Amino acid sequence: MAIAFDNSYARLPPHLYARIDPEPAPKPRLIAWNAALARDLGLPEAPEDTRAAVFSGTTLPEGAEPLAMAYAGHQFGGFVPQLGDGRAHLLGEVIARDGTRMDIQLKGSGRTPFSRGGDGLAWIGPVLREYLVSEAMAAMGVPTTRALAAVTTGAPVWREAGRLPGAVLTRVAQSHIRVGTFQYFAVRRDVPAIRTLFDHARARHFPQAETPADFLRATVAAQAELVAHWMGLGFIHGVMNTDNCHIGGLTIDYGPCAFMDAYHPETVFSSIDQFGRYAYANQPQIAVWNLAQLATCLLPLMQDDQDAAIAEATEIVHGFAPLYEAAHGKQFAAKLGLADRREGDDALLQTLLDRMAKLGADFTRVFHGLRTGKAAAEFREPEAFEAWAADWRTRLAAEGTSEADAKTRMSRANPGIIPRNHRVEEAITAAVAGDFAPFQRLHTATTRPFDPAPGDADLMDPPRPEERVQATFCGT
């Protein structure tokens, strides 16, 4: 399989990464292939067994230069100076048909110098979770890494649950550079490496950014837009460590991620987030904290006068709040079918959210119900919704918007189908037993989130009490 690689990261100084080949899989089998993405990347057609071999790391295509990227990170607030790709190999980069440079990375492909005692492998659960959720996010317009392929390896992986089938995910992104990548070199006071990384990341993501301050400003804006998208979908990343904060504003590292069913701002799913640091409502503040860590890394590049550099960086990071508020307002204006934002809209939204939280209403179904006229049925006390809806209709009338026009605006803001936790777990359980039909069905449905098919009505249902997922796991 001849892939036209052009590997710019591999041409950077060698202390930015470790060259390491992935571990071959004994019996690779392709279980998911993103044909549309492959075409966009300009990848050649190849037999299924060839693709399974390449995207499991068993066969290296000509031009691949596998490497594991070095990075550090704050994990739940505590700094770890060396993390890095402990179970991932960047095969190389391609120039997509639209001219965008894209990384192709294997995840779950074996040990690297950054594995920290781990086996470097992935079992099929986290591979399918990331495939499903990242592709659903892309379909909903959220900036994200993409899933190109999922391959079972034919080898077991041992976890707390016992013997599980191994798998490899092929992930595609404009880069895999994180805040933690900068932190790795900042903690080592390696200013030349920070400069090199800045030049590379700027070219990859923000070529219009002429200075480190411009670059920081662009990253702040990208993160504000990203987190507002998450909030508008009830998405909880679950592990917003700086090593999982993408420099270009992409959603990356889907480990214990989840979408809320019943709305509550303090919702947490991640099993390792014992104190709710990364709860749904905390995500904007955590983004600011992460950006402050990036700003600290860039200080040596910003100005010779460090006091002036600190003042400039602080002002830029503080700019997150108004950018986020504008993006958040735009997201939820669309979700309410409003043509613009006006004074009182924040209070209107908050009243709805407060009633949803109090009455255990499902986040996705309430907003989709606004679009279909069935939102009242999601409340244990429908009159609470109807009282709010009277104010909502008054607000629509004030701007001259009919409910029909509002529903048109909501048609691409309020999905009907999301990869609900219990459905993802159902698909994983079936896949462990060798049945990939639930995965394929859920994937097909969640990649058309705004246009549910008649046969997908059950995928829109919230979980029954016995189906509720209380915790999600990283999968490492």
Catalytic residues: 243
**CA-CA-CA-CA torsion sign (444, 371, 281, 262):** negative
- 276/7 Cα distance (integer angstroms): 39
- Is 10 within 8 Å of 70 (Cβ atoms)? no
- 188/197 Cα distance (integer angstroms): 14
For residue 145, what is the DSSP state? Answer: -
- 231/242 Cα distance (integer angstroms): 19
- 124/149 Cα distance (integer angstroms): 12
Tokens of residue 124, six digits: 């099929």
Tokens of residue 144, six digits: 């994200």
124: Cβ contacts below 8 Å, ≥ 6 apart: 152, 164, 165, 166, 167, 428, 431, 432
Tokens of residue 463, six digits: 């979980």
- Is 18 within 8 Å of 84 (Cβ atoms)? yes
- Is 102 within 8 Å of 174 (Cβ atoms)? yes
Q: Rounded to an integer, what is the distance from CA 301 to the centroid of its chain?
A: 29
The residue written with tokens 């279909």 in the block is: 372
The residue written with tokens 């390491």 in the block is: 20
Q: Comparing C-alpha atoms, which of 404, 406, 410, 402 is closest to residue 450?
A: 410
* Residues pairing with 168 in the sheet: 151
- Is 129 within 8 Å of 171 (Cβ atoms)? no
Q: Phi/psi class of residue 73: alpha, beta or left (left: φ > 0; alpha: ψ in -120 to 50)?
A: left
> What are the angstrom distances between the C-alpha of 158 and each of 118, 166, 215, 345, 434?
11, 9, 42, 51, 17
* Residues pairing with 146 in the sheet: 172
9: Cβ contacts below 8 Å, ≥ 6 apart: 16, 17, 67, 69, 90, 93, 103, 175, 200
- 439/426 Cα distance (integer angstroms): 8
**CA-CA-CA-CA torsion sign (239, 243, 247, 251):** negative
